[in-house]
Amino acid sequence: MENRLETSLSGIRLNNPVIPASGTFGFGREMTAWYDIDCLGAISIKGTTPEPRYGNPQPRIAECGNYGMLNAVGLQNPGVKVVVDNEIPQLSQVFHQPIIANISGFSIDDYVFAARQMDQTDGVAIIEVNISCPNVHNGGMAFGTQPQAAAQVTQAVKAVTHKPIYIKLSPNVTDITQIARACQDAGADGLCLINTILGMRIDIARRQPVLANRYGGYSGPGIFPVAVRMVNQVARSCQLPIIGCGGVSRAEDVIEMMMAGATAVEIGAQNLVNPLACKQIIEDLPKVMDRLHIHNIKDIIACVNE
Active site residue 133: yes
Q: Are 44 and 20 in contact (CB under 8 A)?
A: yes
Q: Are 208 and 214 in contact (CB under 8 A)?
A: no
Given 39, 133, 238, 303, the catalytic residue: 133
Within 10 Å of residue 67's Cβ, how many Cβ atoms?
14
Ramachandran angles phi, psi of 69, nearest 5°: -155, 160
Chain center to CA of 265: 9
Closest CA to 118 of 75, 152, 87, 76: 87
Give the relative orientation of helices 277-291 and 251-260 as an angle to the nearest 10 degrees.
70
For residue 65, give every residue at least 6 positions away whose Cβ sits within 8 Å of its Cβ, in sequence order, or none.
Answer: none
For the sheet with 190-193, list strands across it. 18-20, 264-267, 242-245, 190-193, 165-168, 124-130, 99-103, 43-44
Q: Are 20 and 54 in contact (CB under 8 A)?
A: no
Question: 129 by DSSP, 3-state: which?
Answer: strand
- The single-letter DSSP state of residue 77 is B
Give the relative orientation of helices 224-237 and 176-185 as an angle to the nearest 10 degrees.
40
Closest CA to 188 of 224, 136, 147, 232: 147
Residues annotated as part of the active site? 133
